[in-house]
Chain A
Amino acid sequence: MRYAADPPAARLTIALDELVAIYHRPSGATHLLAPPAPELLDALAEGPADAPTLLARLSRQFDLPDADPQAIAARMEELVIAGLAWRA
């Protein structure tokens, strides 16, 4: 399954504490997201990707010793339901 998201300019992102508040401009909806969801959305800026590719993109920036693609896919499905991403 490949996922896509709106470009970063479609989102207004404010880090409040460990949670990040995101205003999604196309929908007008506000989301409070915990890591790694905001990072996943940013990683999709390079273009649509499946879970292993997203994991690879994240690994370039972050230390992810025990991350697995299934957990990434589960987070992505949550983002799809929220309307922040879609299946490409």
Chain B
Amino acid sequence: MKAARLLVTALRDPETVAGIEMADWTALLTAARAERLLGTLACRLDSRAVPASVARILADARAGADEERRAALWEAEMARRALAPLGIPVVLLKGTAFVAAGLDAGQGRSIGDLDILVPREALGEAEAALRATGWEWVKENAYDDSYYRRWMHELPPLIHRDRDRMIDVHHTILPPTARPTPDAAALLAGAVLLGNGLSVLSNEDIIIHAVAHLFADGDLSGGLRNLWDIDRLIREFDGESFWVRLQERAERHDLRPAVERAARQANDLYGTPIPKRWRVWDSGDPLIKRRLLARDGWGRQGYPFTRLYFFVRSHWMRMPPLMLAKHLWTKAIRKPA
């Protein structure tokens, strides 16, 4: 079986790993690491039910995830201390939000940069406050800078000079040039205080942002992890009138087709419970599924042509065509010899 398939099956039904052969364990663990799902898998599996050499690898992955969690929460606290004097809401996004809010999606999750959402009109102050407390530009480069400022949904990334950790300061969850235009004011208005001076998005908005991240932020690489987030979030938030609220909210953010597509994929791959009326056939789904399952047992991504299509597509979604051409051109001539 293809390694990505083994991974999806192990996450979905952890007890099925009992019958896995040694060679398949290697493929499964390698694919899980490459998809940044090894910590998650380690938290799902019962160490007593796996071979000793596998149990050791899983224990390392759990310890690693614990450290990532601690580091992520500390970065959030550092950002809170830096931004507290401004009196603006600081909304945690993605992995840091999951662990700060104690969500299932945060169990064992690997977390890289800190992503926060602040009101657009406060971007300048936020940037100044962060730079005053040790964050610096990753690269001094006029093109990238103006590109970010004009076309992206976040400040150019900042990195802390002592802790070597990145922060992405967003003012919305998709670039202004993308076709769907999420309602940034509604995202902020719906945010929920955690009681430590930090906030997270509302339940529905957390899912919608995870969907935006899955489809629009990149070429679907890392998609299995993003889709796993969506599965865990849906299972945790499901309840009275949840699906109606999710649908309305997705409508408001201009992302209803994307949310439905992600829910169908999650249902197909991870068995996420979704309402019957959401289960429709769509000609685009098989290609996306094929792309999501491209990882092999050596940790490589297969299907270069599928990947190229998604690369072009993801840039297309971010920028209108003429801008895309300009962007690719500028990237091409800047490429070092």
Contacts and interface: CB of A to CB of B under 8 A. Distances in A.
A and B in contact, CB less than 8 Å: yes
Contacts of B78: 83
Interface residues of A, number: 8
A28 interface: yes
Contact of A26 (B67, B70, B134): B70
Interface in B162-195: 163
A64 to B, nearest CB: 30
Nearest to A24: B74
A48 to B, nearest CB: 15
A83 B67 CA distance: 17
Interface in A43-84: 81, 83
A26 B81 contact: no
Contact of A86 (B70, B81, B163): B81
Interface residues of B, number: 10
A28 B81 contact: no
Contacts of A86: 81
A28 B73 CA distance: 11
Contacts of B163: 29
A72 to B, nearest CB: 21
B96 to A, nearest CB: 14
B67 A28 contact: yes
Nearest to B77: A26
B81 A27 contact: no
Q: Which of A25, A26, A81, A83 has the most CB of B within 10 A?
A: A83
B72 to A, nearest CB: 11
B77 A28 contact: no
Contacts of B74: 26-28, 83
A28 B75 CA distance: 11
B50 interface: no
Nearest to B70: A28
Nearest to B133: A81
Interface of B: 67, 70-71, 73-74, 77-78, 81, 134, 163
Interface of A: 25-29, 81, 83, 86
- 9 A-B pairs closest in CB distance: A27-B74, A28-B70, A26-B74, A28-B71, A86-B81, A28-B67, A28-B74, A83-B78, A26-B77
Given A83-B74, A83-B78, 5 more contacts: A26-B73, A26-B74, A27-B71, A28-B70, A81-B134
